[in-house]
Structure 1
Amino acid sequence: MVDMLTNRQQAILAAIVQDYAKFGRAVGSKTLLQDLQLKVSSATVRNEMALLERLGLLEKEHTSSGRIPSQVGYRYYVDELMNVTDEGFDVNAALQHAFSQNFQRVDDLVQQAVNELAKVTGYVAIGLKPAPLETRLAGFRLVALGGQQVMAIIVTSDGDVTSQSFRLPDGMDLHSLDSMVQFINQTLVNQPINDVLVSINDDLPWKMERVIRTPVAFLQLFGDVLARSVNEHVYTGGRLNLLDFSEAADLQDIKQVFQMIDSPHLMRGAVGSANDGIVVQIGEENRNPLLKGYTLLSEAYHVPHHGSGVVALLGPTSMPYQKTIKTVNAFTSVLADKVVGYY
């Protein structure tokens, strides 16, 4: 717990955070005197910096007499010193470019938003669309691909098409499955996907066996493809930007971060509960230890009856927080308005 800082100490800490984000080098007393126009001696400023270091808000680089912010210092800055409304950064041009065109699917809209957000910030942008709570099964069919290869195709009420190819067992042909495809389309179409998935593991096998002879493996395949149709997708922009700001020396660590970014399940766990406003997780505050060297900004947006989506930004702990938070907030607000029209 950091004690209350004086106005001068707060000004020094804020200046070091902002200067380090801009130039990436340790900040000394002479720079602070010039930037803040303090009417005190360099020795006084150095004493204040030493006190902030003892409080854990600053760290000293071995190669310089200056100081850099610690993770605790960044947290104090974000919580106590930052005023987003003071940051004169205009994101209107980026927003107009991101959302000016018409999109066929919400997936394309979210992907374009994160692409533009990554371009504007230079960081890794991540988007999760709202979970399709009310999506229904619209149709199911099988298509022969040649030999024993068959493709299962599922269409859902939101227009998404999910497919998966598989090989029929020797001695079985596609026509032997016609009765099952017909049964599914007659009895399950227009039902919520989640209800159908429950039925597959509950009473559907029994119902089908009353009408047709059911290959259990086929029913399991249908369930797998159906589950994939409602699985969350993670949309990323600027993935390679990670290489520009990552402090990880081990390429294996960077590879694991890439894998995490591509996993909707892991990203949902990483952003946590972003119910209201921006959530800022700095360094070791991140739930996933892979992100202990980064800052993850996230903000939820809500679609009635469809749950919450998330916009997140992964960057260095030394990011310019005022500008970055304002940018994420602006993109999230516009995306929330646009997404509603697709449900």
Structure 2
Amino acid sequence: MQKRSTIRRIRPVRGDYWDLITLRFLMKEKPKILYRGKSRFQNIVMLETKDIRLYLDKQLQFSSVDERVYHEALVHPAMSMTPIRRNVLILGGGDGFALREVLKYKDVRSVDLVELDPKMIELAKSKPVSELNGRSLADERVQVYVMDARKYLAGRLKAGSKRYNVIIQDFPDPADKTLSKLYTKEFYQQVGRLLAPGGKLVVQANSTEDKPSVYWSIYHTLRSLGMHTRSYYVYVPSFGDWGFQIASYRKFDPKGHRPVVEARTLPSRLSTLFKLPKELLQGRRTVQPNSLKNLRLFQYFHRDQNDDLSHLK
């Protein structure tokens, strides 16, 4: 049982409480440290035990054992439900895993990947991460932009040319004000303007189990723009139940769709991912959209986290 004083010290740290506990335990076991350093934006630790794990600011980003579960769920429902997949944009995802899944589609002609931290791109191009992501960043269809996503969107909108059939948002969790701004109505307005007709946006929307308010706030934020939004989730052993939102300015229905490329961890009928439990659906009415004028997402994040820890007091 954790003492209350210990919990108070942990709460201000970005990241999940359970990730901190796990990382502390693993470090006591003296794992092989593959990389440990601090970039301009975050603390990075990559270690090898029975798996390869990457932590950013003490928050688990992936485990080599089950990262495929998360990334297949992030990429393939939106890609499979979009008949034209010529141009794809990935916001975040500097580890190259979502990119690996996108490149399975032979009809994809170009993929633009926007990553803030150059160190993440460096790690993704180096062993062992490059072996895990299938050297996806070396594919000739890929263009990497190391810059802030908001600046990229503004520049692309100013240029006024390229539109994307699928946009994948794989940002860190909205644990503070800065990250919450990447999940606002204003941000999605810019993203939506870059969608081609019938194009789809998919957003990693946090844990449906531990952060339901975050999950539904993202849903309502997309809906507030008039986007048709469908919610789904999968179980990732390293993270628990994990949620996603797909949005489009055109109506779409997951029924009848199947993965059109190899997807080892997804069901043959994608519609089963969209069947949410009743207890999760009940929380949909209790939260509001996130905007720059009313930046509430990080508050939902910490409220949910404190609720999750309340039984430890």
Please give the range of the TM-score, normalised by the shorter of the 2 chains: under 0.3
Q: How high is the TM-score relative to the length of structure 2?
A: 0.22
More strand by share: 2
More helix by share: 1
Task: Pick the structure with greater CA Rg.
Answer: 1
Q: How high is the TM-score relative to the length of structure 1?
A: 0.20
